[in-house]
């Protein structure tokens, strides 16, 4: 008897098969949609093409390595990466995964929306080259905003489409004492003659092969805490072609992101260039420009992971027969696929709105309310999408059954790589606290809730949208109450932070989907269905502890 062998699932073009993305872009781009489609169609076909998927698998199986000494005992610290990883990155650079955001034509202040869609399509097939790209984009913007003429010149390399000229950048923030609490940075900047030299250990530095990095250090004599930190640009190689004084202690043995090297670095008097005045105490404020951009990249990586997981699960369900009918027709499984699609739509809604606001800020067309909204929305978007991605990747793996648990299906890599998303660039709790800080220092939380109400108002009166609109309004009231109830007691407020941040994420996603489906008219039916489902699940999420956290739990 012949052994039954299941046909492998076959992914459609990542662009062609993604209705949610197309609908969201129609909403944002209007007349620019057709021009964007040309770019995104090419990226989408590449992203899920068989040759690309083979390269992704090869990069995953060829992790980065470090050779510290040559045969003769000389310290060389050579980090090697897979050719496949490099090739996947090169394709992205040439196709504008940084450049699109900086080119004034043809999209103007909508460039970040098109760029976001490009990252979302390319990222899941980049074998984590998306990480250096995130930091490169973020470093470019930081240099343009806070640097001098030399910084601006360097930034041209970061935004280039020419792989022969383009550089990537790292972001060295984390030290042994301060991953989240960056104020504890202990790297010292010493002025020797007219050169700044850095001394210290950077504990978690991703994309070690990048040509440069931005990093924080404390100039000698500067005060403790974050107000004493300066921002510096450091190059891996010096202008004369010799290596800068940077030793690689070891590469990290990580759960995932294996093709992308992450190292511990020893700065032994590394030559560094201050970005702006290193003594102005604005190092953390300056690197925040960078953080907001890498956090948006992170959110797009999360949305992209959800999209890829959903695409694998859906393709498999179309070709698999169980218990007498297609898996895709089994009611229990249809629910699973639909829930994944809703998570993806929510992640896309938040990420694209964040990108939309970022583009307007970068082009000077954002209102003061939009600037405040962006400040609150960035942590909310990053933290929520990352959690959805972890859950969604696991769900997608389960949907492929035992094969999904095997390395050669690619699903374990999806799951492993998703797990970094809630960790780097600020954990869920750190970002929840960031939202609170933003709320206390500016009206960003108010701006977020106000925009929920604005978007819901657009959809009010549209047939079929009564329930999600009412749910958004009720949730806004509940979130205000949670904030106000805890506002007078900082510990209580901090204990409530995650519930407020997650509630705000789901509520805003629902509000945005309500608005978009209304604008899209009959074309917006799937978007409306996603909004309704979010509302059915409940927008505010679990209430915080009603009183002090019990010690005996
Ligand atoms: O580096 C890492 C790994 C890299 C890999 C990246 C790859 C991403 C790829 C994704 C795609 C695949 S991980 C690094 C992880 N660490 C963090 O994310 C840091 C987490 N901690 C925070 O975010 C904290 O909130 C800090 C460090 C920003 C806060 O520190 P402080 O010392 O408490 O500072 P303040 O007082 O809160 O903020 C100092 C100034 C203030 O400005 P002024 O003085 O004018 O009031 C703040 O308003 O900075 C301003 N500020 C901000 N401004 C702080 N955060 C922001 C912000 N997000 N936006 C604008």
pLDDT single digits (tens) 184-237? 999 999 999 999 999 999 999 999 999 999 999 999 999 999 999 999 999 999
User: Which residue's CA lies nearest to atom 43 of ligand 1?
Assistant: 285
**Pocket flag, ligand 1, residue 450 (CB < 6 Å):** no
Residue of 121, 126, 230, 285 with the most ligand 1 atoms within 8 Å of its CB, for mutation: 285
Residue 548 is predicted with a pLDDT of 76
Q: Which residue among 142, 187, 226, 386 is best mutated to probe the pocket of ligand 1, counting the most ligand atoms within 8 A of its Cβ? A: 226
The mean per-residue pLDDT over the stretch 48-73 comes to 97
Give per-residue pLDDT as tens, 108-163.
999 999 999 999 999 999 999 999 999 999 999 999 999 999 999 999 999 999 99
Does the C-beta of 424 come closer than 6 Å to ligand 1? yes
Give yes or no for a contact between 215 and 197, defined as CB atoms under 8 angstroms apart.
no
Cα 228 to Cα 243: distance, rounded to the nearest angstrom: 28
C-beta of residue 536 within 8 angstroms of C-beta of residue 542: no
∠ CA 507-511-516 to the nearest 5 degrees? Answer: 150
Query: Distance (Å, rounded) from C-alpha 43 to C-alpha 423?
Result: 28
The larger pLDDT score, comparing residue 289 to residue 543, is at: 289
**293 in ligand 1 pocket by Cβ < 6 Å?**
no
Could you tell me how far CA 546 lies from the centroid of its own chain? 33
Q: How far, in Å, is the centroid of ligand 1 from the Cα of 308? A: 29
Residue in 123, 127, 264, 284 to alter for ligand 1 test, most ligand atoms within 8 A of Cβ: 284
Mean pLDDT of the 293-322 span: 97
- pLDDT of 543 reads 87
Per-residue pLDDT, averaged over 259-277, amounts to 97
Cα gap 419→62, rounded to integer Å: 20
Does the Cβ of 302 fall within 6 Å of ligand 1? no
Q: How far is the CA of 380 from the centre of ligand 1 (A)?
A: 14
Q: At what angle do helices 411-418 and 283-319 cross, to 10 degrees?
A: 150
Look at the block and give the residue holding tokens 């001394």. Answer: 199
- Cα gap 318→328, rounded to integer Å: 5
Contact 262, 204 (CB under 8 A): yes
The residue nearest atom 12 of ligand 1, judged by CA position, is 131
Which tokens is 68 given?
A: 């510290």
> What percentage of the chain has pLDDT greater than the value 90?
94
**Centre of ligand 1 from the C-alpha of residue 371, in Å:** 17
For the chain, the domains span 169-280, 428-537
What is the Å distance from ligand 1's center to 394 Cα?
29
Report CA(430)–ligand 1 centroid distance (Å): 10
Is 284 touching ligand 1 by the criterion CB < 6 Å? yes
Kindly indicate the confidence band of residue 552, based on its pLDDT and cuts at 50, 70 and 90: confident
Candidates 185, 222, 219, 221; CA nearest to 202 is: 185
CA dihedral 338, 420, 513, 124 (to 10 degrees): -70
Q: Tell me: the pLDDT tens digits for 378-429?
A: 999 999 999 999 999 999 999 999 999 999 999 999 999 999 999 999 999 9
Ligand 1 pocket member 179 (CB < 6 A):
yes
- DSSP class of residue 237? B
Residue 47, pLDDT above cutoff 90: yes
* Ligand 1 centroid from CA 179, angstroms: 10
Residues composing the chain = 553
User: Would you say 100 and 18 are in contact if contact means Cβ atoms under 8 Å apart?
Assistant: no
From the list 22, 73, 12, 14, the residue with the least C-alpha distance to 44 is 14
Hey, whose CA ends up nearest to atom 21 of ligand 1?
180
Tell me whether the omega of the peptide bond preceding residue 190 falls within 30 degrees of 0, making it cis. no
Tokens 């999420």 sit on residue: 541
Closest by Cα among 426, 444, 458, 448 to 506: 448
Task: Output the pLDDT for position 180.
Answer: 87
Q: What is the structure's pLDDT at 44?
A: 98
Mean pLDDT score of the chain, rounded to an integer? 96
Q: What is the mean pLDDT of residues 22-50?
A: 97
Q: Is the CB of 431 under 6 A from ligand 1?
A: no
Ligand 1 centroid to Cα of residue 284, in Å, is: 7
d(CA 417, CA 402): 19
- C-beta of 82 in contact with ligand 1 (< 6 A): no
Q: How far apart are CA 332 and CA 399, in angstroms?
A: 11
Q: Is 226 in the pocket of ligand 1 (CB under 6 A)?
A: yes
For residue 157, give the nearest of 165, 169, 145 by alpha carbon: 165
Beta carbons within 8 Å of 112's beta carbon, 6+ residues apart: 101, 355, 356, 358, 359, 362
Q: How far is the CA of 209 from the centre of ligand 1 (A)?
A: 24
Nearest CA to 343 out of 376, 313, 377, 303 is that of: 303
- Check: CB of residue 142 under 8 Å from CB of residue 287: yes
Residue 201 is predicted with a pLDDT of: 97
- 169-280 domain in CATH 2.40.110.20? yes
Confidence check: pLDDT of 298 > 90: yes
Q: Which atom of ligand 1 is nearest to the CA of 437?
A: 37
pLDDT tens, residue by residue, 328-365: 999 999 999 999 999 999 999 999 999 999 999 999 99
């Amino acid at each position: 008897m012949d052994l039954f062998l299941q046909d492998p699932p076959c992914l459609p073009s990542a662009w062609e098969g993604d209705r949610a993305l197309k609908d969201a872009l129609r909403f944002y781009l209007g007349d620019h949609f057709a021009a964007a489609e040309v770019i995104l169609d090419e990226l989408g076909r590449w992203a899920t093409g068989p040759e690309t998927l083979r390269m992704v698998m090869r990069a995953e199986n060829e992790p980065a390595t470090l050779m510290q000494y040559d045969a003769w005992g000389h310290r060389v610290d050579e980090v090697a990466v897979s050719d496949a990883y490099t090739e996947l990155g090169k394709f992205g650079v040439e196709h504008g995964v940084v450049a699109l955001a900086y080119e004034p034509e043809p999209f103007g202040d909508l460039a970040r929306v098109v760029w976001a869609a490009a990252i979302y399509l390319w990222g899941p097939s980049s074998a984590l080259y998306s990480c250096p790209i995130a930091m490169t984009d973020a470093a470019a913007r930081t240099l343009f905003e806070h640097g001098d003429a030399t910084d601006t010149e360097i930034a041209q390399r970061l935004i280039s489409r020419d792989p022969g000229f383009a550089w990537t950048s790292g972001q060295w923030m984390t030290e042994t004492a301060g991953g989240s609490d960056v104020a504890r940075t202990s790297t010292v900047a010493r002025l020797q003659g007219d050169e700044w030299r850095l001394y210290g250990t950077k504990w978690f530095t991703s994309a070690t092969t990048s040509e440069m990095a931005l990093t924080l250090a404390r100039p000698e004599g500067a005060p403790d805490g974050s107000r004493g930190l300066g921002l510096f640009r450091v190059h891996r190689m010096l202008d004369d072609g010799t290596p800068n004084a940077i030793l690689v202690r070891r590469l990290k043995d990580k759960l995932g992101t294996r093709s992308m090297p992450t190292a511990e670095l020893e700065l032994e008097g590394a030559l560094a260039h201050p970005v702006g005045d290193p003594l102005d105490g604005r190092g953390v404020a300056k690197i925040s420009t960078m953080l907001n951009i890498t956090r948006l990249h992170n959110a797009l990586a999360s949305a992209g992971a959800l999209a890829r997981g959903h695409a694998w699960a859906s393709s498999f369900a179309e070709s698999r027969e169980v218990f007498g009918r297609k898996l895709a027709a089994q009611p229990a499984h249809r629910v699973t696929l639909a829930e994944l699609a809703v998570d993806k739509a929510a992640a896309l809604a938040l990420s694209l709105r964040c990108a939309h606001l970022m583009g307007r800020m970068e082009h000077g067309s954002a209102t003061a309310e939009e600037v405040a909204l962006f400040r609150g929305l960035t942590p909310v978007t990053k933290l929520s999408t990352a959690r959805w991605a972890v859950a969604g990747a696991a769900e997608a793996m389960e949907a492929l059954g035992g094969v999904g648990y095997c390395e050669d299906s690619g699903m374990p890599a999806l799951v492993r790589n998703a797990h970094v998303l809630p960790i780097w660039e600020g954990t869920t709790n750190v970002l929840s606290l960031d939202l609170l800080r933003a709320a206390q220092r500016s009206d960003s939380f108010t701006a977020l809730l106000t925009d929920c109400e604005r978007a819901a108002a657009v959809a009010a009166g549209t047939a079929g949208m009564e329930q999600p609109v009412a749910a958004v309004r009720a949730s806004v009231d509940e979130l205000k109450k949670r904030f106000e109830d805890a506002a007078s007691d900082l510990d209580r407020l901090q204990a409530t932070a995650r519930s407020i941040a997650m509630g705000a994420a789901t509520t805003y996603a629902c509000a945005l989907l309500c608005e978009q489906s209304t604008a899209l008219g009959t074309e917006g039916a799937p978007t409306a269905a996603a909004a309704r489902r979010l509302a059915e699940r409940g927008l505010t999420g679990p209430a915080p502890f009603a009183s002090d956290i019990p010690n005996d739990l």
